[in-house]
Amino acid sequence: MARYEHLPIYKEAFDLALYFEKTVRNMSRYDKYTLGTDLRNLSRDVLKLIQRANSEEDRIATLKEIRSKVEELKAVLRLARESGAVQKANSYEFAAGKVVNIGRQNEGWITSQAKRGRPESRTPMSEKTGAGASEP
């Protein structure tokens, strides 16, 4: 089982999920059970996907799924702010900053995985074996 607690992206996602757990408590009943539920569920989904990605050999698909969840989370967070569910500007700024930071770290992770998967200056097989070369 891979360790994930040391990852900066995991720490950010955990802080965000914990923040939403605490923040949703103070929302109105309507917002708590609509937008608040979405915020809590999406933040937990991101956390779970980070755990899964860290334990997988081929992480790209899971990292792209994280990208999708982060974009959903951005949209729901903005909707919560615009609708008044998140009333304090500094509360929104804190959460939005965390979401953006998670997205950036995820993109960096995707880039590093893509580079790792690319073949390094390989020479074609025909050059190695001499196949296709004209005989003297």
Model confidence pLDDT, tens digit, residues 14-38: 999 999 999 999 999 999 999 999 9
Q: What is the CATH number of the domain that holds 42?
A: 1.20.1440.60
Lowest mean pLDDT segment, chosen from 14-18, 43-47, 95-99, 125-129: 125-129
The per-residue pLDDT of the chain, averaged, comes to 88
Q: Does residue 130 fall inside a structural domain?
A: no
| pLDDT bucket at 132, cuts 50 / 70 / 90 | very low
Model confidence pLDDT, tens digit, residues 45-75: 999 999 999 999 999 999 999 999 999 999 9
Q: Does residue 128 fall inside a structural domain?
A: no
Q: Does residue 3 fall inside a structural domain?
A: no
Q: Does residue 122 fall inside a structural domain?
A: no
Q: Does residue 127 fall inside a structural domain?
A: no
For the entire predicted model, the pTM comes to 0.82
Return the HEC string of the chain. CCCCCCCHHHHHHHHHHHHHHHHHCCCCHHHHHCHHHHHHHHHHHHHHHHHHHHHCCCCHHHHHHHHHHHHHHHHHHHHHHHHCCCCCHHHHHHHHHHHHHHHHHHHHHHHHHHHHHCCCCCCCHHHHHCCCCCCC
Q: Does residue 126 fall inside a structural domain?
A: no
Domain count, the chain: 1
pLDDT over 50 (residue 121): no
Q: Does residue 95 fall inside a structural domain?
A: yes
> Domain of 15?
8-116
Q: Does residue 109 fall inside a structural domain?
A: yes
